[in-house]
Amino acid sequence: MKFFYTNTHEQHNPAFEVYDGGKRMPYLESPQRMQRILNALQKTDWAEIHPPRDFGLAPLRAVHSEAYLNFLASAFDEWRAADPEAGSSAEATALLPATFAAKRDQMPESILGKAGFFLLDLSVPIVRGTYAAALSSANCALSAAQAITENSSAPSSFISHPSSFALCRPPGHHAGREIAGGYCFLNNAAIAAHWLTQFGRVAILDVDYHAGNGTQDIFYNRGDVLTISIHADPSYEYPYYAGYATETGDGAGLGFHRNFPLPAGTGETSYLTALEESLNLIRAFAPAHLVVSMGMDIYKDDPLGTFKITRSGISEIGKRIAALKLPSAVIMEGGYNTDELGDNVVAFLKGFVR
């Protein structure tokens, strides 16, 4: 199984985030997460590490607005230029807004106004290396997508359902067409899925603990990409304002988006029931390719989750998705129990290894 990784992600390493209720705390989506996953994968005999290809900006422009991409590319330098007297403290090394856009009909000229327009919350501080890290993360996802299209003309006895893994950081599924949030800047899974539509219809299955609101935003009006998210009910959990069962798409996308919001404390039996319904929807859609937004914050001891999924349950989820026998690109999203993260990822991916 090919997996794609680059240490460029280390350039995005904010000193802090502002957590629920205004508490400043160390950034939970840390570079250490990737090292733990790498360590676990390198102990297997089936994980091939590859650097990502540079796909340029065109695949990003197909998913995100030009104004948003320009903001991500220039925000840090513009912010520091606006306050040249800023010191070198942790507070002065990350851009976060104090005011957020309640209405999005007008974009301000000031950098702090732009930050409030494009950033959804206080978990997406922008530091000097954020844009470079986000670009490399998107290229990992695109490389994984390309990998599952290779050898597509080979005899079925040789290869039937190739799979790949993108070790993406920052994650992506909360990033919408022109907004960052929930540790996410570029929507890696959406970028990969849109790129794959040149070969036919695509399904995205999001199994992160939190709703894939950004992916929903991007594909909500499209019928060529089926998007499904199994997650904690947003009535009590982030992102709060999207991810409800009543949201099923609009226009050409009506019926091609499904949310499965689950209550706090959901265990494996209930989760697997929702998964089976999701897999049946994918079978009926008959996509050419599958993109999986894989979040390990469904694990029972994750600090940001309430689900009660064991490692054995995570392994079963991976096996059932792999049993679709579709060319599949698995994209790393959340998972914040750093001590257990690597082994959980391996448990999930084993189902895709033939």
Q: What is the pLDDT of residues 43-52, one digit of tens each?
A: 999 998 999 9
All residues at 6 or more sequence positions from 338 whose CB lies less than 8 Å from its CB, including other chains: 30, 32, 33, 36
Q: Would you say residue 90 has pLDDT above 80?
A: no
Strand ordering across the sheet containing 257-262: 48-50, 2-4, 163-166, 328-332, 289-294, 202-206, 225-232, 257-262
Task: Answer whether CATH 3.40.800.20 is correct for domain 2-14+24-54+126-352.
Answer: yes
Quick: pLDDT tens for 151-197.
Answer: 644 433 334 579 999 999 999 999 999 999 999 999 999 999 999 99
Q: Which of 64, 174, 231, 289 is catalytic?
A: 174
* pLDDT bracket for residue 150 (50, 70, 90): confident
Quick: pLDDT tens for 264-290.
Answer: 999 999 999 999 999 999 999 999 999
174 classed as catalytic: yes
All residues at 6 or more sequence positions from 243 whose CB lies less than 8 Å from its CB, including other chains: 210, 211, 212, 213, 216, 229, 231, 233, 234, 259, 261
pLDDT for 354 equals 66
